[in-house]
Structure 1
Amino acid sequence: MEQISFGTDGWRATLDTFTAPRVRMVGQAVATYLDEEGFTDPVAVCYDARESSRGFAEELARVLCANGFDVVMPERDRPTPLLSWAISERELAGGLMITASHNPPEYNGVKFIPEDGAPALPKVTDAIEANLAEPDPLPESEWGTVREVDFVTPHADHALDLVGADLDLSVAYDAIHGSGRGVTDSLLKRAGVDVTRLRCEADPTFGGVSPEPTRGNLDELVERVTSGEAALGIANDGDADRIALITPERGLLDANLLYAALYDYLLETDSGPAIRTVSTTFLIDRIAESHGEAAIEVSVGFKWVARAMAEHDALMGGEESGGFSMRGHVREKDGVLIALLAVAAHDEEPLDERVDRLLAEHGEIHQNRVSVDCPDEEKGPTLDSLSEAIPDSAAGERVEDVNTADGFKLLLESGAWLLVRPSGTEPKLRVYAEASSEARVDELLAAGRDLVTEVR
C-alpha cells in the first residue's frame, strides 16, 4: 500500500512495483470513494498500448463490477482524452485510465478522472489513497456488468463540430506506436486532410523508444516535413494527451510557440483569457494583453490549468510540455483534438508565418529546461535550503521578484526568468529558463544548475 502514491498525474511505477494486487487495491479505493460520494452511474475503464495494460484494465473492471458498478470499456487501447470525453458525454461517475503516458515500456500507471472529465484534484486523489484496501466484493447477485462501447466516434464528431472540417493539406502523422494510432490520423482524414502515417502499427515496445514526441524520437517525421513531402507533421505521446508539431522552417515547433499560435488563432473569432503554467512562456501574456485579455498563471500540472479554466471561463489552457485544451471541450489536455485545431490554424495561416508575426510584434522568446537528479526524499529539504539562498542576481542580472507558487521562479529585470521546481513524476528537480536569445537561456540554465548544486 505504501508503494501507491498519486502524483502530478496519477500513480506510475515500473512493473516490479505496479502489480495486479496493487491495481486491484486502487480499484477498490475508487469504488469506495464513488460509493461514499453517492455515485451510482457506470464507470469507464480505458488503457494504453502497453502489453500489460489490457490485463490491468480488466482487473479494475472486475473490482468495480464486484462493488456493484457497471463498467464500459473500449474494444482496444484508446487515448486518455477519449476517456475524458466519454465520461462527460455519457454522464458517467468517472473513469480509470491504465497508462504510463510517455514513460518507457517497463512502466505502467493508473489515474482516476472524475465525472466532469477534468483531472482529479488533490482532495479526490487523497480520498482515494485513504481508501486503499484489498477488494471487498458484494454478493454476486449485486455485481455490475462490463460492456464494450465506441470511444472514438463520439469524440471525433464533437471535435469536428467544435473545430470544423473541410481542410485541404497534407500532414504526416507519427503515433510512435501509441494509442493515437487509428484515432488522430482518422480524425484528420475525416476533416479532409491527406494523411501519411508513420509508426501507426501496434507495438507494445514502442519500437524500442519511450513514446515521447521529443526531437530525438521524430527524425523521420521531421524529414518528411522539412523536405516538403508534407505541409505539417504531428506526433502524439503514448496516450495521445500531448502533441508535438513539425513545421517546414522550424522542424520541431517549441510547444510554447505552438500555444501562442493556437491562442492567437482562436482569438481571431472568439475572446477570453488564457491559462498557463508557471513554466510556460510569458509570450502568452503579451498576446492576451494585446487583445484586452488576461493570462492566468498556475502551478505545473494540468489539474491546476483545468481548475483555472473553469474559474475564468478561459478560451484556452496549456503547458510548455505540449498539453492543451480549449473552451467547449472537457478541461483535460487532448492531443487528438489539438491536432485538428493545429491543422485548421495552419490551413488559415502557415504556423511558421504566424509565429514569425507574433515574435515580431511581441519580441523574441526562447526557452529550455534541464533536469538535476534529486531523490524524492531530498526534494523538500533542497527547496527549503533554496528558500534561504535566493540570490540577488542570476547570471549577472538583477532579480526583481520571486514567485513561489510552484518552486522558485526568479523574475529578472530584462523580462527573462529562471525557475527551479520539483518534478511530480521523476526523482529530479527541473530547471527552466526563458530569455530573448538561446545563448542567454543557456547562461541562466547554468546559473540554475549551480544554484541547486550549492544548496544540496
Structure 2
Amino acid sequence: MDAITFGTDGWRATLDQFTDDRVRIVGQAVADTLRETGHDEPVLVGYDARETSPGFADSLAEILAGNGFDVLVPERDCPTPTVAYGIVDRDCAGALMVTASHNPPEYNGVKFIPDDGAPALPEVTERIEANLREPDLLPEDEHGTIEEVDVIGPHAAHAHELADADLSGLTVVYDAIHGSGRGVTDALLESAGAEVIRRRCEQDPTFGGGSPEPSPEHLEGLVEAVREHDADFGVANDGDADRIAVVTPERGYLDENLFFAVLYDYMLESDSGPAVRSVPTTFLIDRIAEAHGEEVVETPVGFKWVAQAMGEHDALVGGEESGGFSVRGHIREKDGVLMALLAGAMAAAESLDDRVDRLLAEYGEIHPGKTSLDCPDSEKERVLSDLEDELPDSVAGQNVEKVVTMDGFKVLLEDGSWLLMRPSGTEPKLRVYAEAGSPERVEELLDAGTELVRPLL
C-alpha cells in the first residue's frame, strides 16, 4: 500500500508497481470513501487505450460491485472527459478512470473523479489514501450490477449544444497518436460537417513505440499533413484526450498559450465573464480580460485548482499552458474533445492564424519559454527555501516589481515580462518558465532563472 500515492492527477506508476492487487486496493478505498460520504449512486469505471487498462477496469468494477455499488462501464476505451461528463449526465457518485494520460506504454494509472465531474481536490484524494486496505467484499447476494453504457454519444450531443458549430467547408487533420480520442474527436468534427483526414487513428497500445504526448516534436507529421492537404488546421489529443494541441498552416504547432488567448477572445464575442489561468500561463489572457472589463484569477499549477476557481468565480473559460481547457456550461474538467470542436467553430468564422495575428497586433507580442533542471523530489522543498533567500532585486537588467509565491516564485519585472521557478508536481525536476515580448528576451530570462537555481541543486 505504501507504493500507492495520489499525486497531481491520481496514481501513476510503471507496470511493475501498478499491479492488479494494488488496483483492487484502490477500488476498495474508493468504495469505503463513497460510503463514508453518503453516496450509494452508481459509479462509472472508464479506461484508456493501453493494453492493460481494460483488465484493471474490470478489477475495479468487480471490487465496487462487491461493495454493493452498481457499476457502469463504457463500451470501449474512451477519453477521460467523456467519463467525467458521464458522471453528471447519469447522476453517478463519481468515477474511476484507468489512464496514464501521456505517459509511455510501460505506465498505467488510476484517478478518482467526484460526483461534480471536476478533478478531485486534495481532501478527497487524501481521504482515499487513508482508506487504502485489502478488499473486503459483501456476500454475493448484496453485490451491485455491472452494466455497459455509452458515454461517448451523450458527451458529443452536449458538445454540439455548447459549440453550436457548422464546420461545413472546413478540412481538419486529426492525429489521435493511437490514444482514446480516435473515433471520438474525429467523429465529433465530422458530425459537425468538417472533412476529417485521420492520422494515427488505429488502435495500438504501444502508441507507435512512443508516448501519446502531443508535443511539437511528436507532431511534425501533423504539421506536414496540414500543409500537404491544404487543411484549415490540425488537431491532436494526448492519450486520454483531455488535452489538445493545435496546428495551423502558417505557424505549425500553435503554442497552447496562444490557443487559450484565441479561445477566450472568441468566447467573449458572445458572452462575458472572467478567465482562470494557472501561474505559468500567459499574461495575454490578462490583457484581453482588461480590454473587456473582466478579471483574471490566477491559480497554482494543476487543473483541479483551475476547476475550483472556475466554480467560485463563474468563469467563462479556464486553462493551463499545458493544453488543458474548459468553458462555462461544461463540466469543470479539461476536455480536448470539446476543444477540438470549439477550434473548428473559431476557424469557421475566421482562420486561426488570422485570429492570432489580430490578437498580437492588438495586445502586443508574447513569447513564452520553459526549461527544466533535474531535482530529486526529496530536495525540492530545500531548494525552494534556499531560493527565497537568493531572489534578486533585478533580473536580466529589469527591476523586480513583485514576487508571486502561490506556486514557487514568479518574479514580475518592470517591462511586463516575468520569470517563474517552481517544482514539477509529476517529475523529479524544477521548472523555469518565462514570458516576454521577444524570443531573445525570453532566452535571457530563462538563462537568468537557470543561473539562479542551478547553484542550489
Q: Structure 1 counterpart of 2:137, which letter?
A: P
For residues 267-278 of structure 1, the aligned pairs below 5 Å read: 267-278=268-279
What amino acid maps onto 1:263 in structure 2?
Answer: Y
Counterpart residue identity of residue 368, structure 1 = G
- In the TM superposition, residue 447 of structure 1 has moved relative to its aligned partner by 1.4
Task: Describe the superposition over 1:232-252 as per-residue Cα deviations: whole angstroms up to 9, x where unpaired.
Answer: 100000000000000011000
TM-superposed CA distance for 1:335, in Å, is 0.1
Q: What do the CA deviations read for 1:252-272 (whole angstroms, capped 9, x no partner)?
A: 000000000011001000000
Once residues 228 and 211 of structure 1 are traced to their aligned partners in structure 2, the CA distance between those partners, rounded to angstroms, is 23
Letter in 2 for 1:448: G
In the alignment, which residue of structure 2 is the partner of 1:418?
A: 419
| 2:258–2:356 CA contact under 8 A, matched in 1 | yes
Q: Which 10-residue stretch deviates more, 13-22 or 387-396?
A: 387-396
1:296 is matched with 297
Moved more, 440-449 or 28-37: 440-449
Aligned twin of 2:428: 427
Alpha-carbon deviation of 1:227? Answer: 3.6
Report the counterpart of residue 97 of structure 2 in structure 1: 97
What one-letter code is carried by the residue in structure 1 that aligns with 2:445?
Answer: L
Secondary structure in structure 1 of the residue aligned to 2:240? coil
AA partner of residue 243 (structure 1): I
Identity of aligned residues (%): 67
Matched-pair contact (CA < 8 Å) for 1:365–1:434? yes
Q: Deviations over 1:73-109 (max 9, x none)?
A: 1111100000000001101000001111011111111
Per-residue CA shift, 1:398-426, capped at 9, x if unaligned?
21111000011011111111111111111
Aligned 8 A contact 1:81 1:332 in 2: yes
Residue 215, structure 1, aligned to residue 216, structure 2? yes
| Equivalent in the alignment of 2:375 | 374
Cα drift, residue 42 of structure 1 = 0.4
Contact 2:276 2:319 in 1 (8 A): yes
Q: Distance in 2 between matches of 1:153 and 1:159?
A: 10
CA contact (8 A) 1:49 1:238 kept: yes
Pairwise CA distance, 1:228: 4.8
Partner SS state of residue 388, structure 1: helix
Counterpart in 2 of 1:439?
440
1:381: Cα distance to partner?
A: 1.0
Paired residues for 1:221-260 under 5 Å: 221-260=222-261
In the alignment, structure 2 segments of 5+ residues that lack a partner are: none
Q: What amino acid sits opposite 2:307 in the alignment?
A: A
The answer (yes or no) to whether the contact 1:272–1:315 under 8 Å persists in 2 is: yes
**Residue type of the partner of 1:161?**
E
1:342 aligns with 2:339: no
Contact 1:69 1:144 in 2 (8 A): yes
Distance in 2 of aligned mates of 1:348 and 1:20: 49
Distance in 1 separating the partners of 2:225 and 2:239 = 21
Distance across 2 between alignment mates of 1:296 and 1:374: 29
2-structure distance, mates of 1:354, 1:254: 13
Equivalent residues of 1:400, 1:411 under 8 A apart? yes
Q: Which residue of 1 aligns with 2:264?
A: 263
Q: SS in structure 2 opposite 1:317?
A: strand
The aligned residue for residue 164 of structure 2 is 164
Question: How far apart, CA to CA, are the structure 1 residues paired with 2:409 and 2:140?
Answer: 53
Query: Contact 1:31–1:67 at 8 Å: present in 2 too?
Result: yes
Conservation of the 8 A alpha-carbon contact between 1:228 and 1:248: no
Instruction: Work out the CA distance in 2 between the residues paired with 1:158 and 1:3.
Output: 38
Q: Distance in 2 between matches of 1:13 and 1:350?
A: 41
Between the aligned partners of 2:387 and 2:110, the Cα distance in structure 1 is: 33
Alignment of 1:60-79 (within 5 A): 60-79=60-79
In structure 2, the residue matched to 1:326 is 327
What is the alpha-carbon distance in structure 2 between the residues aligned to residue 287 and residue 165 of structure 1?
23
Alignment partner of 1:154 is 2:158: no
Following TM superposition, the consecutive aligned residue runs of length 4 or more in structure 1 with deviations greater than 4 angstroms are: none
| 1:171 partner SS | strand
Counterpart for residue 88 of structure 2: 88
Equivalent position of 1:201 in the other structure:
202
| RMSD over equivalenced CA pairs, Å | 0.8
Alpha carbons 1:389, 1:455 under 8 Å: kept: no
Aligned length: 456
Instruction: State TM-score, norm by structure 1.
Output: 0.99
Return the alpha-carbon distance in structure 2 between the equivalents of residues 52 and 399 of structure 1: 50
- What aligned pairs does 1:342-361 form with structure 2 within 5 A after superposition? 342-361=343-362
The match for 2:177 is 176
| 1:449 Cα offset (Å) | 1.4
Give 2:19's aligned amino acid. T
In structure 1, stretches of 5+ residues that fail to align are none
- CA deviations over 1:348-379 (Å, ceiling 9, x no partner): 11111111111111110000111111111111
Q: CA deviation at 1:392?
A: 1.5
Query: What is the rounded CA distance, in whole Å, between the counterparts of 2:6 and 2:450 in structure 1?
Result: 28
